[in-house]
Amino acid sequence: MKNIITVLLLVLTVSPLLGQDYQAGVASKSYQLIGNDTIFPTKSIYENIKNTTQFTVITQIFELTNAQEEIDKLGMVTVFLPTDAAFAAYDEKALKKLLSASNAEALKAALMRHVIIGRVDQNSLQRNLQQNGGSAYFRSPADIDPEFKSGGSQIQLRIPNAAAATITGTNYYHKLGFIHVVDAFLLEE
């Protein structure tokens, strides 16, 4: 009987400590930084990028196309977001034309090529690439499923007739999945 009481006391003492340890781990991941921009796991993609310094162009695309509403309908998603540097190849006039209301449908289609269904972190992506000889596809809500290719330490996101985007930052949480950072916008030429 004494052994049973000792075991019960031990379980009652250790259980709350394990729970606190788990909670402490969650609290330590309350936000992440992309450069100087803060990304919160409790916010949507748009809520995370709308006040950033390096995602101003993609924020405009989200606003112009109402993309967050469409993405929310998908459930868990992983998105590959280009920074403003990805749009540096456009001069001011070309960028203004790209971001015009008359171009909203094409922009939405291009943006959705940066979205894949499900939560895919960097390790899952690399494992899939290794299992498939350096090339992998994931289901996208877009008209084209993007192809992922590995080459050395880099992973690229590709679609036909567009410049490849290299993944430059990974594993930033949003409330329904992951954000990865890329250096190009997949817009068909």
Largest CA distance in the chain: 83
Look at residue 98 and tell me if it is in a domain.
yes
Distance CA 46, CA 61 (A): 10
> Going edge to edge, which strands form the sheet with 165-174?
115-117, 77-82, 177-182, 165-174, 154-158, 147-151, 135-137
Nearest CA to 112 out of 185, 53, 25 is that of: 185
pLDDT in tens, 31-60: 888 888 889 999 999 999 999 999 999 999
Looking at residue 165, its amino acid is A
pLDDT at res. 7: 44
For the chain, helix (H) and strand (E) counts, in that order, are: 7, 9
Look at residue 47 and tell me if it is in a domain.
yes
Look at residue 187 and tell me if it is in a domain.
no
pLDDT in tens, 12-31: 444 444 443 333 334 445 88
Number of domains in the chain: 1
Look at residue 26 and tell me if it is in a domain.
no
Look at residue 67 and tell me if it is in a domain.
yes
Between strands 77-82 and 177-182, the pairing is parallel
Least confident of 25-39, 42-56, 97-111, 166-180: 25-39
Q: Is the CA virtual torsion 42, 43, 45, 49 positive or negative?
A: negative
Whether 5 has a pLDDT exceeding 60, the answer reads no
Question: Integer distance in angstroms from the first to the last C-alpha of the chain?
Answer: 78
Domain range for 101 is 31-182
The CATH number assigned to the domain holding 58 equals 2.30.180.10
**Sequence-separated contacts (24+) of 128-137 with Cβ below 8 Å:** 129/155
pTM above 0.75, yes or no: yes
Local confidence band at 2 (pLDDT 50, 70, 90 cut-offs): low
pLDDT in tens, 122-165: 999 999 999 999 999 999 999 889 999 998 789 999 999 888 99
Distance CA 158, CA 118 (A): 18
pLDDT at res. 34: 84
